């Protein structure tokens, strides 16, 4: 077991390596040539221009001003300087709320650490069990932990009481934070300028109508049911294929630019092969080939564009319906429209850029089946992910490689290579899986059918959290895969499960301290260097960039990946909560993680990330709920731990903790969550009234005209989207094509029956 000295050495090494990262970062970031890698946010905002325009040639690429090297840690105070309200304007509420998760970690754990060190550490230290026990090996860390308390000692009451104090403190901080974020969100929504999504509702599962097109059907339905408020609507085209073509064309254009640049530089006609990835096929002139390909694709794209616009079948049964007032939109988004609750589904529309277009047309029954399948898949992924990896590992051993690729045999027999492969190969399959995991989870969320990027990220975060909880946290404690745990715990009494964990929790403290340093500290330091974007930018810059606009496009500012980052934070919060009453020495390491992360991510949010959507901190209820789950897990584990310590009198006192925690969650959910889901009518009315007073002549119809057009229709040609044209000439009272009202009523009944019939 590691003792305090070992941990100290390890901490020093990790601190040094983190420091090294920071030095590298500090040097890289002040090089003008990297300016677009480390400050893309400012370029996107248009307030920073290339530093390469001025100065000597060398100055264009390398910073020769030595003084700036001395101030290499200046970015830290700089990152903290910008006040929060300004940060909301600069980067949006999502980023600010995300940063507040780190702050929340600090708010919870700094007082917890102080309390634990003042109260629990002396109690543990003077417990003196381990000193008298001669047959067990122990370290200084164990002396500071609950392991040093004799079983059945009355000192264990202190841990029980402290866990109440910790929980209540967490409640206090969580509640204040929830309230603060809810207020910030409402203020953010209220202070926003006019935005299309304030007036717009996403309507899905529009039932088919034999007499009318989707557009007419929508218009009639809302003219009838929201007569005073309906303004206009925008049908949705199934432009997935078109978007794919546009994407392909962009890639071809990149290649064309690359070959043109090569030609300019070398004055030698570059050639390429026509086959897959240019690897085989006939050799042709590259520039001619790609020009021809692009022309072909442009024609194809135009044909597809025509087809999408003219073909009624490419209109999917979903629409963006806009209202004359925010009040009207809020009402429509919150109410049920039809007697069949699975058609005419209305939701507050996401921001135009937040929409995930592919998922807009999934019918209700299919949606429920998709959710079921994904729930089963997630279970399988969490509990059985080791099976395919073990299979790949068994294939990828040295004998296997020798069999498949016998010509490598001499190389493999060489001692160093052999040991390298043996040490490296088994891990690489797992490593690849872990790198791909967020992508897999995101794909699963997409299959589940959510319609906005923000909700996709939220769902992925939930899945990733479960994976980390079972495979990293619980897996490390009992050393086994989730599947092994599942097997064990199905065959053990429920009261034994927390005990099994309880026994090994104190023993794993040093492991988690090391993990925090390696994964947490070093991971954050690596984050700030942005190695992958750095390399990609320079590659693009070398081969593709000709104009400043090209250079702007080569920038990849990235964005806060909530789906992968938030579950990691939750993991450290869980660690802190579990170890606070057990081995308080772990807390400072977690506090360093939170503080360091906060500074780094604040710097990134200010200078780098460019959010691709703004959900107004809609993820906070998820963050809150997961912290509550962490609290309950920590309480159950403490109960298990204490019951193995023969603290029979104090353990029952802990049973109340999960109960009040669940109650606290229910209370907070009712009190704050609606602010993240609905738009209160009062707020809507205030904004409407203000707007009517200040801008009485506003033409809302023009404003909303092409807000919700698929990006492929917006982007290149700036042509008017087809639906709007259709809209322009339509008078508010559209003559119905229906035969008569009764007939149509029977039909809509029939259609609703048909819709429900598919559900059987």
Sheet holding 230-237, edge to edge: 230-237, 315-323, 200-204, 345-348
Binder among 312, 490, 693, 733 for a copy of itself (CB under 8 A)? 490
Nearest approach in angstroms of CB 743 to a copy of itself is 16
Site membership for a copy of itself, residue 364 (CB under 8 A): yes
Binder among 48, 179, 561, 714 for a copy of itself (CB under 8 A)? 179
Count CA atoms closer than 13 A to 11's CA, side-chain side.
17
Q: Determine the angle formed by the axes of helices 620-644 and 496-504, rounding to 10 degrees.
A: 90
Site membership for a copy of itself, residue 330 (CB under 8 A): yes
3-class SS string, 421-489: HHHHHHHHHHHHHHHHHHHHHHHHHHHHCCCEHHHHHHHHHHHHHHHHHHHHHHHHHHCCCHHHHHHHH
Which sign, positive or negative, has the C-alpha torsion 400, 402, 406, 407?
Answer: positive
Q: Which is nearer to a copy of itself, 368 or 730 (CB)?
A: 368
Nearest approach in angstroms of CB 495 to a copy of itself is 5
Q: Which is nearer to a copy of itself, 266 or 742 (CB)?
A: 742
* Beta bridge partners of residue 273, listed in sequence order: 283
d(CA 760, CA 751): 15
Binder among 49, 282, 336, 422 for a copy of itself (CB under 8 A)? 336
Q: Is 675 exposed, middle or buried (0-12, 13-18, 19+ CB in 10 A)?
A: buried
Site membership for a copy of itself, residue 175 (CB under 8 A): yes
| Tokens 């903290």, residue located | 80
State the first-to-last Cα distance of the chain, in angstroms, to the nearest integer.
60
d(CA 639, CA 85): 43
Site membership for a copy of itself, residue 180 (CB under 8 A): no
d(CA 156, CA 153): 6
Q: Which is nearer to a copy of itself, 256 or 367 (CB)?
A: 367
d(CA 456, CA 441): 10
Nearest approach in angstroms of CB 444 to a copy of itself is 16
Site membership for a copy of itself, residue 758 (CB under 8 A): no
Binding map of a copy of itself across residues 644-683, x = CB under 8 A, - = no contact:
---------------xx--x--xx--xxxxxx--xxxxxx
Can you read off the two tokens belonging to residue 326?
């925010």
List of long-range contacts for 60-64, beta carbons under 8 Å, 24+ apart? 60/32, 60/33, 61/31, 61/32, 61/33, 62/31, 62/32, 62/33, 63/30, 63/31, 63/32
| Tokens 């994976």, residue located | 467
266: DSSP letter: H
Site membership for a copy of itself, residue 225 (CB under 8 A): yes
List of long-range contacts for 252-258, beta carbons under 8 Å, 24+ apart? 252/290, 252/293, 252/294, 252/297, 253/294, 254/544, 255/286, 255/290, 256/287, 256/290, 256/291, 256/294, 257/544, 257/546, 257/550, 258/543, 258/544
| Tokens 């003084």, residue located | 67
* Beta bridge partners of residue 452, listed in sequence order: 355
Nearest approach in angstroms of CB 666 to a copy of itself is 6
Binder among 133, 376, 432, 743 for a copy of itself (CB under 8 A)? 376
Site membership for a copy of itself, residue 341 (CB under 8 A): yes
Considering only the stretches 109-117, 235-243, 265-273, 361-369, report the one whose residues sit in contact with a copy of itself under the rule CB under 8 A. Answer: 361-369
Nearest approach in angstroms of CB 372 to a copy of itself is 4
Considering only the stretches 37-45, 219-227, 237-245, 407-415, report the one whose residues sit in contact with a copy of itself under the rule CB under 8 A. Answer: 219-227
Considering only the stretches 130-138, 328-336, 413-421, 521-529, report the one whose residues sit in contact with a copy of itself under the rule CB under 8 A. Answer: 328-336
Site membership for a copy of itself, residue 226 (CB under 8 A): yes
Non-local CB neighbours of 647 within 8 Å, separated by 6+ positions: 151, 152, 153, 156, 157, 160
Q: Which is nearer to a copy of itself, 24 or 681 (CB)?
A: 681
Nearest approach in angstroms of CB 333 to a copy of itself is 9
Nearest approach in angstroms of CB 630 to a copy of itself is 21
Q: Which is nearer to a copy of itself, 336 or 394 (CB)?
A: 336
Q: Which is nearer to a copy of itself, 341 or 715 (CB)?
A: 341
Site membership for a copy of itself, residue 326 (CB under 8 A): no
Count CA atoms closer than 13 A to 488's CA, side-chain side.
17
Q: Which is nearer to a copy of itself, 534 or 686 (CB)?
A: 686
Site membership for a copy of itself, residue 377 (CB under 8 A): no
Site membership for a copy of itself, residue 331 (CB under 8 A): yes
Q: Which is nearer to a copy of itself, 158 or 497 (CB)?
A: 497
Site membership for a copy of itself, residue 625 (CB under 8 A): no
Binder among 296, 371, 403, 692 for a copy of itself (CB under 8 A)? 371
Q: How many residues bind a copy of itself (CB under 8 A)?
A: 55
Q: Which is nearer to a copy of itself, 54 or 85 (CB)?
A: 85
Binder among 494, 549, 740, 742 for a copy of itself (CB under 8 A)? 494
Binder among 76, 161, 365, 595 for a copy of itself (CB under 8 A)? 365
Q: Which is nearer to a copy of itself, 358 or 683 (CB)?
A: 683
Count CA atoms closer than 13 A to 312's CA, side-chain side.
9
User: What are the two backbone dihedrals, phi and then psi, of residue 235, each rounded to the nearest 5 degrees?
Assistant: -75, 160
The H-assigned helical ranges of 608-720 are: 620-644, 656-672, 674-677, 681-694, 700-704, 711-714
Q: Which is nearer to a copy of itself, 497 or 524 (CB)?
A: 497
Site membership for a copy of itself, residue 746 (CB under 8 A): no
Nearest approach in angstroms of CB 674 to a copy of itself is 4
Site membership for a copy of itself, residue 156 (CB under 8 A): no
Considering only the stretches 224-232, 411-419, 470-478, 587-595, report the one whose residues sit in contact with a copy of itself under the rule CB under 8 A. Answer: 224-232
Site membership for a copy of itself, residue 244 (CB under 8 A): no
Nearest approach in angstroms of CB 682 to a copy of itself is 5
Binder among 248, 257, 337, 541 for a copy of itself (CB under 8 A)? 337
Among 534, 521, 527, 516, smallest CA distance to 603 is for 527
Q: Which is nearer to a copy of itself, 114 or 666 (CB)?
A: 666
Q: Which is nearer to a copy of itself, 285 or 683 (CB)?
A: 683
In terms of phi and psi (left: phi > 0; alpha: psi -120 to 50; beta: otherwise), the region of 731 is beta
Q: Which is nearer to a copy of itself, 282 or 682 (CB)?
A: 682
Q: Which is nearer to a copy of itself, 293 or 673 (CB)?
A: 673
Among 505, 627, 650, 638, smallest CA distance to 581 is for 638
| Tokens 């309906």, residue located | 230
d(CA 443, CA 406): 38
Considering only the stretches 42-50, 76-84, 139-147, 337-345, report the one whose residues sit in contact with a copy of itself under the rule CB under 8 A. Answer: 337-345
The footprint of a copy of itself (CB under 8 A) covers 172, 175, 179, 186, 224-226, 228, 330-331, 334-339, 341-342, 344, 364-365, 368-369, 371-372, 376, 489-496, 659-660, 663, 666-667, 670-675, 678-683, 685, 756, 759-760
């Amino acid at each position: 077991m590691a003792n305090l000295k070992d941990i100290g050495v390890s901490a020093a090494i990790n601190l040094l390596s983190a420091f090294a990262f920071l030095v590298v970062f500090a040097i890289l970031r002040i090089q003008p040539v990297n300016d677009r890698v480390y400050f893309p946010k400012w370029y996107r905002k248009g307030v920073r221009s290339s530093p390469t325009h001025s100065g000597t040639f060398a100055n264009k690429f390398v910073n020769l001003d030595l003084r700036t090297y001395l101030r290499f840690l200046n970015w830290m105070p700089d990152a903290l300087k910008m006040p929060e309200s300004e940060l909301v304007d600069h980067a949006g509420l999502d980023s600010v709320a995300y940063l507040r998760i780190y702050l929340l970690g600090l708010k919870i754990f700094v007082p917890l650490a102080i309390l634990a060190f003042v109260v629990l550490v002396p109690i543990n230290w003077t417990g003196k069990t381990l000193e008298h026990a001669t047959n067990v090996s122990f370290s200084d860390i164990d002396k500071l932990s609950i392991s040093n308390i004799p079983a059945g000692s009355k000192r264990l009451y202190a841990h029980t009481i402290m866990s109440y104090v910790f929980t209540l403190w967490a409640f206090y901080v969580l509640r204040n934070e929830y309230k603060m974020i809810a207020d910030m969100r409402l203020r953010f929504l209220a202070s926003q300028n006019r935005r299309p999504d304030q007036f717009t509702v996403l309507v899905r599962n529009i039932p088919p109508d034999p007499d009318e097109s989707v557009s007419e059907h929508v218009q009639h339905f809302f003219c009838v049911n929201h007569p005073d408020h309906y303004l206009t609507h925008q049908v949705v085209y199934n432009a997935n294929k078109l978007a794919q073509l546009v994407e392909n064309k962009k890639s071809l254009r990149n290649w064309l630019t690359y070959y043109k640049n090569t030609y300019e530089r070398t004055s030698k006609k570059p050639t390429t092969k026509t086959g897959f990835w240019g690897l085989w096929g006939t050799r042709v002139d590259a520039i001619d080939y790609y020009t021809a390909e692009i022309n072909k694709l442009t024609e194809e794209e135009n044909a597809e564009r025509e087809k999408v616009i003219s073909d009624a079948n490419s209109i999917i049964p979903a629409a963006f319906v806009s209202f004359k007032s925010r009040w009207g939109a809020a009402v429509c988004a919150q109410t049920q429209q039809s007697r069949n609750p699975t058609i005419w589904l209305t939701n507050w529309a996401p921001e135009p850029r937040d929409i995930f277009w592919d998922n807009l047309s999934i019918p209700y029954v299919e949606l429920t089946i998709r959710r079921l399948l994904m729930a089963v898949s997630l279970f399988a992924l969490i509990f059985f992910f080791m099976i395919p990896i073990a299979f790949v590992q068994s294939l990828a051993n040295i004998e296997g490689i020798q069999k498949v690729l016998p010509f490598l045999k001499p190389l493999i027999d060489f001692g160093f290579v052999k040991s390298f492969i043996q040490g490296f190969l088994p891990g690489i399959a797992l490593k690849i899986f872990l790198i791909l995991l967020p992508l897999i989870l995101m794909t699963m969320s997409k299959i589940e059918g959510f319609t906005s990027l923000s909700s996709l990220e939220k769902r992925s975060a939930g899945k990733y959290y479960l994976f980390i909880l079972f495979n990293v946290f619980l897996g490390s404690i009992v050393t086994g895969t989730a599947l092994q745990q599942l097997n064990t715990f199905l065959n053990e009494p429920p009261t034994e499960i927390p005990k099994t964990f309880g026994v090994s929790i104190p023993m794993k403290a040093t492991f988690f301290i090391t993990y925090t340093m390696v994964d947490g500290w070093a991971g954050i330091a690596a984050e700030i260097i942005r190695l992958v974007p750095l390399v990609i930018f320079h590659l693009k810059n070398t081969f593709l960039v000709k104009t400043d606009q090209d250079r702007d496009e080569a920038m990849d500012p990235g964005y806060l990946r909530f789906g992968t980052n938030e579950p990691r934070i939750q993991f450290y919060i869980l660690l802190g909560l579990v170890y606070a009453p057990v081995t308080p020495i772990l807390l400072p390491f977690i506090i360093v993680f939170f503080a360091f992360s906060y500074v780094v991510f604040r710097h990134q949010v200010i200078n780098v990330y460019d959010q691709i959507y703004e959900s107004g901190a809609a993820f906070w209820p998820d963050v809150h709920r997961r912290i509550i789950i962490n609290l309950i897990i920590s309480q159950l584990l403490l109960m298990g731990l204490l019951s193995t310590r023969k603290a029979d009198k104090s353990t029952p006192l802990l049973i109340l903790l999960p109960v009040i925690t669940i109650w606290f969650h229910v209370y907070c959910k009712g009190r704050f969550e609606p602010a993240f889901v609905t738009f209160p009518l009062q707020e809507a009315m205030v904004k409407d009234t203000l707007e009517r007073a200040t801008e009485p002549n506003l033409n809302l119809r023009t404003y909303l005209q092409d807000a919700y057009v698929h990006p492929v229709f917006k982007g290149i040609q700036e042509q008017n989207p087809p639906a709007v044209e259709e809209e322009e000439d339509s008078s508010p009272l559209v003559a119905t094509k229906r035969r008569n009202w009764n007939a149509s009523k029977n039909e809509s009944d029939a259609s609703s029956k048909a819709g429900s019939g598919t559900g059987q």
